[in-house]
């Protein structure tokens, strides 16, 4: 696999330019950034959040984690991390743990941390553990314009 089918169709429908970047197999987002020789704060990682009314995708830099208490306060509701099985259910054309941060392509509401806005370049998982999508920052911002935005992450 190079790029997940639903992600590829969504990017083509949005007419946003992107490249795919192969890298050595890496499981975690931080390992992925290291393997691909890109800055961790420019690699957008997906964290599936469980809410009573369904899932939500939180998107943060790979060298950060979601601050659940801050996100809960922003959302005004109780949140928790979703189980791996729940992620596989929604991102069924992706390898486990390699979900792209483009929730709109999967019908999942998305919130993006403000630190990923206004960058020169952004990378993210293409759906497997060996391929990244690379985009200009302004194209990533355009891709995420319908997502909610806020400051809700902290360093590992």
Matching residue, tokens 């083509």: 12
Neighbours of 150 (CB within 10 A): 14
Please give the span between the terminal C-alpha atoms of the chain, in angstroms, as a whole number: 30
In this predicted model, what pLDDT tens digit does every residue of 64-115 receive, in sequence order?
999 999 999 999 999 999 988 888 899 999 998 899 999 999 999 999 999 9
Asked if 119 and 103 touch (Cβ cutoff 8 Å), the reply is no
* Per-residue pLDDT at 19 exceeds 90: yes
Lowest mean pLDDT among 11-15, 25-29, 124-128: 25-29
The pLDDT of residue 33 is 94
Higher pLDDT pick, 87 / 153? 153
**CA 59 to CA 109: how far, in whole Å?**
11
* Per-residue pLDDT at 156 exceeds 90: no
* Per-residue pLDDT at 1 exceeds 70: no
Matching residue, tokens 């190079």: 2
State the chain's mean pLDDT as an integer. 94
* Per-residue pLDDT at 144 exceeds 90: yes
Asked if 125 and 100 touch (Cβ cutoff 8 Å), the reply is yes
């Amino acid at each position: 696999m190079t790029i997940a089918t639903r992600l590829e169709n969504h990017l083509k429908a949005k007419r946003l330019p992107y490249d795919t970047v192969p890298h050595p197999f890496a499981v975690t987002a931080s390992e992925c950034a290291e393997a691909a020789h890109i800055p961790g704060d420019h690699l957008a990682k997906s964290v599936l959040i469980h809410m009573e009314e369904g899932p939500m995708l939180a998107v943060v830099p790979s060298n950060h984690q979601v601050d659940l208490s801050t996100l809960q306060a922003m959302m005004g509701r109780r949140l928790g991390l979703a189980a791996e099985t729940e992620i596989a259910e929604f991102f069924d054309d992706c390898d486990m743990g390699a979900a792209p941060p483009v929730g709109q392509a999967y019908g999942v509401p998305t919130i993006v941390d403000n630190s990923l806005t206004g960058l020169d370049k952004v990378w993210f998982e293409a759906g497997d553990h060996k391929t990244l999508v690379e985009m200009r920052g302004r194209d990533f911002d355009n891709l995420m314009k319908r997502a909610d935005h806020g400051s809700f992450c902290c360093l590992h």
